[in-house]
Amino acid sequence: MYTAEHVSEGLELLTGAASGLPGTASGYEPDTVLGCAQKTLQAYRQACQLADSSKTGRKRGR
């Protein structure tokens, strides 16, 4: 049994990787758990924005 004082400690215990702390203007360090999550979420956001803009473009063309 393990105890953690913060969720970041739990992430590190479960993954074996550094959880990451926000330290730069762009967010988390890329080689951390939270950095990977941030990168994935940014890619998802861009994909959603592209999909939305293509839907809008099709409506205008009709």
Question: What are the residue boundaries of the structural domains of the chain, listed by start?
Answer: 7-61
21 or 57, which is more confident: 21
For the record, the structure tokens of 16 come out as: 């074996």
| Residue 32: Cβ within 10 Å count | 19
| Residue 36: Cβ within 10 Å count | 16
Q: How far out from the chain centre does Cα 32 lie?
A: 11
Mean pLDDT of 32-54: 93
Percentage of the chain with pLDDT > 90? 61
DSSP assigned state of 30? T
Q: What pTM did the predictor assign?
A: 0.73
26 or 58, which is more confident: 26
Bridge partners of 15, per DSSP, are none
